[in-house]
Structure 1
Amino acid sequence: MIGSFITASAASCLTPPPVDHSPARDAAIRQMMSGVGHREWSMAIVRQVAGNNADLLFPGGIADVAEASFDLADRDMLAAAHGFHSRKLSRRVRAAIMFRLEQAVPHRPAVRHALAVLMMPGHAHILARTIARTVNAIWTAAGDDSQGFTHATKRISLTGIYVSTLLFWLARGGNMAAVEEFLDRRLADIARITRLKNRLMGRPF
């Protein structure tokens, strides 16, 4: 149920606006993730980390902090995109998703708290654009240059894969081999559906 809700929300916002960021905001987010990420997120916690500037850095409150944390992970993934080597686009997508999850392993409780903030009543639109932004970043990191209808359908398909894998990782993140196998199964399911669709439409695979 949770995965379906997140996926539907993100699919409704395929081209989200960028997130404002600065060295000070990034530093506060990194400290939140590593220092107090195991505690339930609130502006009181942010003020402990960022001091008197907390409300100026994050004028949108705790939802602003949570959204910024996912955006920072997106940018870290994009910065590492040169290392996603494969001739197949699907393998580069896989590499991008695994990179961001592996990098987040030490901060899994913080990711859980950030996602919980975005799932609070009134934050659905922020959740939608956050997930959509991440899916766009994954495709960009993988080197996808599709446009039009293909661009949209790829993002809708990957949203379901990413959300279900993220939730699986939050539940089973201590076993990255299991996470990797789960992601591979989801990617294989999408590949089979794509091949069937192309066969029915008379297209080459």
Structure 2
Amino acid sequence: MAENPRESTDQGAELQDSLLDAALMHVVFDGWSAATWEAALADSGVDRTLAEALFPRRALDLAVAYHKRGDAQMLQRLAEADLGSFRFRDKVAAAVRYRLEVVGDMEAVRRGATLFAMPQHAAEGTRLIWGTADAIWTALGDTSEDVNWYTKRATLSGVYSSTVLFWLGDDSPEHQATWDFLDRRIDNVMQVETLKASVNKNPLLKPLMAGPNWLMSHIRAPKSREDLPGRWSPRADR
């Protein structure tokens, strides 16, 4: 009898969760390392061959899965929240706050930041942060398809990453200093957007922006979200 693809997918997800949950018990001591990988295998009882099929890069893929789990939990919380009366900048702030509040173990994030700061893993870390920013903008209804698609995510990536670093060192009650820091960063972004709009409306400065605006008008959002933050590929007919 043929195996049900959905059942197979569910089983794979359950095994991934088992390995990740087991790993989190050791990350605080050993980081996202080979030692944590081996301990997760031993504690979870998952077959080594199957585990390596699910996580080909072993501990690195466990760290990636942990970050993506946090994104999924944030999206669930966003979907359940009533943000109808919020200003848009407050919705963005709420999403970033939710992303940090779903973290069950700050040390796992700290160890992840150390891992993704390594040169060989920096690109992976960038993709994860960009993915978080994209998830937030998409959940909040962003429909931009031009250069704004990139600038929104690049800006939010900067806000998110700086807020995470501040949060990791914040010992204020209920992380209030972090939420104040987040509000200031988003206010800074809003000031930049206001400045951009005023430049484009200024009759003296507008001609100077004609060239850059023409160039940016030809930039389009990627058709797929599988290769965030995207990459430049030369045209085949050149």
Distance apart, 1:114 and its partner CA = 1.5
Distance apart, 1:171 and its partner CA = 1.3
- Alignment partner for residue 123 of structure 1, among 121, 124, 131? 121
Tell whether the 8 Å contact from 1:36 to 1:45 is kept in structure 2 after alignment: yes
TM-score normalised to structure 1 length: 0.79
Q: Which runs of 4+ in 1 moved over 6 A?
A: none
Structure 1: stretches of 5+ with no match in the other structure:
1-20
Instruction: State the partner residue of 1:49.
Output: 40
Distance apart, 1:168 and its partner CA = 0.5
Matched, 1:37 2:35: no
Instruction: State the partner residue of 1:111.
Output: 109
Over residues 52-95 of structure 1, what are the superposed CA-to-partner deviations in whole Å (9 max), with x where a residue is unaligned?
43433311122211111111111111122221514432221111
Tell whether the 8 Å contact from 1:112 to 1:170 is kept in structure 2 after alignment: yes
Distance apart, 1:174 and its partner CA = 5.3
Instruction: State the partner residue of 1:193.
Output: 192
Structure 2: stretches of 5+ with no match in the other structure:
1-11, 203-238
The one-letter code of the counterpart of 1:196 is L
Distance of aligned partners of 1:85 and 1:153 in 2 relative to their CA distance in 1, 3 Å threshold: same
Secondary structure of the 1:124 match is helix
The one-letter code of the counterpart of 1:38 is V
C-alpha distance in 1 between matches for 2:172 and 2:38: 30
Instruction: State the partner residue of 2:150.
Output: 152
Percentage of identical aligned residues = 32
Matched, 1:25 2:13: no
Over residues 153-205 of structure 1, what are the superposed CA-to-partner deviations in whole Å (9 max), with x where a residue is unaligned?
111111110110011011116541000000000000111111121112119xx
What CA RMSD, in Å, does the superposition of the two structures yield over aligned residues?
Answer: 2.0
Distance of aligned partners of 1:161 and 1:58 in 2 relative to their CA distance in 1, 3 Å threshold: same
TM-score normalised to structure 2 length: 0.69
Give the length in aligned residue pairs.
181
Matched, 1:61 2:58: yes
Instruction: State the partner residue of 1:136.
Output: 134
The one-letter code of the counterpart of 2:194 is R
Q: Which moved more, 1:95-104 or 1:22-31?
A: 22-31
Larger RCO (CA within 8 A; separation ≥ 6): 1
C-alpha distance in 2 between matches for 1:156 and 1:84: 26
Tell whether the 8 Å contact from 1:29 to 1:69 is kept in structure 2 after alignment: yes
